[in-house]
Amino acid sequence: MRLKLLSVVFFVTEPIVNDKKKTYAMSNLKGRNLISITDFSKEEYIQVLDIAEEFEKNPKQPILSDKVVATLFFEPSTRTRLSFESAANQLGARIIGFSDPGGTSVQKGESLHDTIVMVSSYSDLIVMRNPKEGSSRYASEVASVPVINAGDGANQHPTQCMLDLYSIRKTQGTLENLNIAMVGDLKYGRTVHSLVQAMCNFNATFHLVSPVELKLPSSVKMSVKNANLKYYQYTDLAEVIPFADIIYMTRVQRERFPDPLEYERVKDSCILTAKMLQGCKPNMRVLHPLPRVNEIATDVDKTPYAYYFQQAQNGVYVRQALMAAILGVR
């Protein structure tokens, strides 16, 4: 008697994003570059934020012990560089790179092209900050490993944007339908440009507070218009405080001004004090990408609305999530 062998097909379902033992199968971020915040979709933002939540619960995991991360900072940085390096260290990665190009062959005239090609051969991932707009996009085109933009001039700062999204969701319980006040240097503020573009995915209403000289560029406003969302422009910060869910303060950046006299005219135009917060929403939080100069008075630090130091700490978890996802271990 012959037995007939029947073929059996097993269907394996993809893991759920919020499962405790998760492997993220929603979108494969392995090998992706992150140069502009628009390189990722709304769903991919959420994916990264969910991974970051898990790292906040357990940040020390040796899942990158066989990886080398290169941090190339052609421009000064404290929080971005140190949080990337802390994130990589806590995941077991080895770090190479520099925080001052003065000690590298750039001083001898080496091109960005040659630097990136060389560093690609030494590492699995490049994190780069450069004062020239578009430099990170160019680096991603010549690199043989993924590139994360840690800030390119006045253009974009996508990882800061991701930690801003994480902080907003953590403090508000949602990213949807919020009143976001952007305050200060909206013209040169790359963190503002990235965050406005990202929040266009979440039906935000934007309240833009700045001196006339530092208004949000038309190219960024176009993102709001294309999403059929509303924005309002102000010169007086006090007008937006009663209804804002998030007040996103920025410093006026002396280093971005071609004319020092223009900087002197506007440097003190938007200053937030604790007294001004009387009557704000109970859930309102003040964010700032830091460093601050004088745009947030120190008396705000002691109020329940100040969240900028916790915001900076969130950068470790978000950057862990990005590196883990791009290197294919999450």
Residue 248's CB: how many other CB atoms inside 10 A?
A: 30
CA separation (Å) from 85 to 26, 89, 95, 216?
A: 27, 6, 7, 32
Per DSSP, the residues of 237-293 read GGGTTTT-SEEEE----GGG-S-HHHHHHHTTS--B-GGGGTT--TT-EEE--S--S
Catalytic residues: 79-80, 108, 129, 157
Q: How far apart are CA 254 and CA 184, in angstroms?
A: 12
Long-range contacts, stretch 194-197, CB < 8 angstroms, 24+ apart: 194/36, 194/37, 194/156, 194/157, 194/158, 194/160, 194/161, 195/37, 195/161, 195/164, 195/165, 195/248, 196/220, 196/223, 196/224, 197/36, 197/37, 197/38, 197/161, 197/223
DSSP for residue 228: T
- CA angle centred on 264, ends 259 and 270, rounded to 5°: 120
